[in-house]
Structure 1
Amino acid sequence: MSSEDTLSLEGLRAHEAENSSLNDDGEVVEPLQLDPRDIGDEEIKLSLKPRQSNEFTCSECFLVQNKSRISHVEPDGSMICQDCD
């Protein structure tokens, strides 16, 4: 590798580091600043239920969905939802 190749590689790395705060469209992405008052001492309460008899877990996206959303069943028995088909 010549010194020109090394310099250009270093230049590319420096350029990449400078642009790391850009999104795919080249727009500047501001870091998310959360106000501690917004996330203070609040508790998140949720209830979890086991998968129901009319539900399945898609083998592609792993979301639990209603069986009416089954697109097809693979030969191995795994079920695929309409969104993943």
Structure 2
Amino acid sequence: MATDYDAPRRTNDDDLAEDSLEELKARRNEAQSGDVDVDEGDTAESFELPGADLSGEELSVRVVPKQDDEFTCTSCFLVYHRNRRAEQNGTELICVDCA
């Protein structure tokens, strides 16, 4: 079946256009409320402050030492594979992103 994509589509806005002004005002008043919803989980007590005691925490990331075919960029200090090294005449090891 062929679809005419240029034809106007019927949306919920079209349904609202057919409603009376009184019905729209009633819906607006019902939707607005003077009450504020407060989530108990959003209190300041749930945030971790700098310098907090994290001695009981454990790392869940496996740390792998730098391999022989990797280098550390002297600009961004990230570890890359040697094929990401920019061609430069100096002795600086720079990645292609920083070059």
TM-score by length of 1: 0.45
Higher helix fraction: Structure 1 or Structure 2? 2
Q: Which has the higher strand share?
A: 1
Give the TM-score taking structure 2 as reference length.
0.39
Q: Which structure: larger Rg? A: 2
